[in-house]
Structure 1
Amino acid sequence: MGTLLNLVKRHKAGENNGIYAVCSAHPLVIEAALAQASNDHSILLIEATSNQVDQFGGYTGMTPADFRHFVLEMAASLHFPAEQLILGGDHLGPNRWQNLPASEAMQHADDLIAAYVTAGFKKIHLDCSMSCADDPVPLTDEVVAERAARLTAIAEKTAITHWAAAISSISSAPRYRYPGGLPRPLEGLVVTAPDAARKTLECHRQAFDRAGVATCWPRVIGLVVQPGVEFDHTHVIDYHPKQAQALSKVVEAYPNLVF
């Protein structure tokens, strides 16, 4: 069983556990994260965000393969075991190309996903919630799900091609996370409605069926929702647990899923 899926199953069984994601490409941050995980004797999830690292280099100048080499090289220098390291991609989709028509943006997104999976990234956050140049605002759940399923199919095909028996081995196949709502300004922040979370999941499940990737649905382990806590450069919205109680119960119906 894969490390992340095992973590989720243990959590569902009542264990008080979790994992944080280090979303940074800064050498000092990566070094500190490796040192902390080494001291904790824990696994470490390091993620590259779509604007940091892409097939063209992103703002760091690194492709996914470059980023993997960078992290593994630093891990080796600190004697951190590679098997304790998980690489993830964050907000992978047409985000970088929103100024283009959807057809062009999604072609770039196809190539982006293929580059990440080829490089060995196994925790994949697919985010197709943003509108492209010729899209309505906002996109419907159905359109978001259709595009996410398209990218999932690319990821699965790439994994089969580049990882030996990846899909036949549940421990080495990609894990997926999907967006559960559109970004909102802080002054309009609301908790995701339980029915909205359910609809997002159902739209994605149906889109998976249509795209021929239904078999990987058990590897969807995360849905991004808004529990009522957020921050920007000038404000912090404090978390009020009672406001998210109804939302938190939704996830109990999905054995492999966390919010």
Structure 2
Amino acid sequence: MRVALDDLARLRIEGRPRGIPSVCSAHPIALRAALRHGSETGAKVLIEATCNQVNHRGGYTGMSPADFAALVGGLARAERCPEDRIILGGDHLGPNPWRDLPAEAAMAEAERMVAAYVAAGFRKLHLDASMGCAGEPAALDDTATARRAARLAAVAETAARAAGGPPPLYIIGTEVPPPGGADHALDAITPTAPEAARRTIAVHRA
């Protein structure tokens, strides 16, 4: 069974959970390998960029979301991977690259970034507004995080309508190292407790 993003929730509810590998890299060799696999097997190819790698200001790769989409598109043509097998995703989209700014300024940058991702054809968006900005705690509570994520989702919906494309699909929450990797040694990552995950979902729904 070849699984699409839209199938994942239904399959989980039916007791047949499935997944899609996510390739989070801007390196052409890694991207070509993923696209070649999609070309040869018919599988969906989910390629993601983080907010630090790629954003409306260029990120550390120097690429905007449109630039990254063009890079993937060119490599896909070289590997003969059909466009309809490719899913572009944005990872940890939120104020993280600008968290040294006051919250309102950082969120304004995050909004512009999210709009640029959607306009460039990214459909899977991980909204992550959990990090504090200047003068705030390092990690925000569920309510503050959800309010900011909802604000970013509203921007994404508007951008999708303006582009005439399908609405985005969202990932919420975070328990992984910082976008692009941690800057210190990690001995372990504690998985989120089920009750904490349920609370996060409930607060975001509200």
The verdict on a shared fold, with TM-score over 0.5 as the criterion, is yes
| 1:22-33 correspondence to structure 2 within 5 Å | 22-33=23-34
Amino acid in the other structure paired with 1:134: G
Matches within 5 A, 1:1-259: 3-15=4-16, 17-163=18-164, 166=165, 172-181=166-175, 186-187=186-187, 189-206=189-206
CA positional deviation for 1:45: 0.3
Tell me which residue corresponds to 1:251. Answer: none
Structure 1 alignment gaps of length 5 or more: 167-171, 207-259
In structure 2, how many angstroms separate the alpha carbons of the residues matched to 1:79 and 1:111? 33
Instruction: Output the CA distance in 2 between the equivalents of 1:81 and 1:141.
Output: 39
1:216 matched to which residue of 2?
none
Whole-Å separation in 2 of the counterparts to 1:30 and 1:200: 33
Secondary structure at the aligned position of 2:49 is classed as: strand
Please say which of residues 53-62 and 181-190 is displaced more in the overlay.
181-190
CA contact (8 A) 1:180 1:200 kept: no
Instruction: Assess if the C-alpha contact under 8 Å between 1:21 and 1:44 holds in 2.
Output: yes
Contact 2:36 2:80 in 1 (8 A): no
Distance 1:30 1:183 in 2: 22
Q: Distance in 2 between matches of 1:121 and 1:70?
A: 13
| Change in CA separation of 1:17 and 1:188 when aligned onto 2, cut-off 3 Å | closer
Q: Distance in 2 between matches of 1:188 and 1:13?
A: 32
Give the Cα separation in 2 of the matches to 1:178 and 1:19: 17
Q: TM-score, normalised by structure 2?
A: 0.89
Structure showing greater radius of gyration is 1
* Counterpart amino acid of residue 28 in structure 2: P
Task: Single out whichever of 184-193 and 142-151 deviates more from structure 2.
Answer: 184-193
Distance 1:24 1:147, change over 3 A: same
- Which sits farther off after the overlay, 188-197 or 105-114? 188-197
When the two chains are superposed, the root-mean-square deviation of aligned CA atoms in Å is 2.0
Give the whole-Å Cα distance in 1 for the aligned partners of 2:5 and 2:132: 30
Deviations 1:55-99 (A, max 9, x none): 011111110001101101110111110001000000000010111
Q: CA deviation at 1:9?
A: 1.7
Q: Deviations over 1:118-153 (max 9, x none)?
A: 111000000001111121243111100000000000
Q: Deviations over 1:162-198 (max 9, x none)?
A: 12xx4xxxxx220000114586984574332222111
Q: Which amino acid counterpart does residue 177 of structure 1 have in structure 2?
A: I
Flag the 1:11–1:203 CA change in 2: closer, same or farther, 3 A. Answer: closer
The count of residues paired between Structure 1 and Structure 2 equals: 198
1:77–1:138 distance in 2 versus 1, CA, 3 Å: closer
Kindly provide the CA deviation profile for residues 25-49 of structure 1, in whole angstroms up to 9, marking residues without a partner as x. 0000001111112222201000011
Aligned residues of 2:8 and 2:17 also touching (Cα < 8 A): no
Kindly state the Cα deviation for residue 17 of structure 1 after the two structures are TM-superposed.
3.0
Percent identity, aligned pairs only, is 47
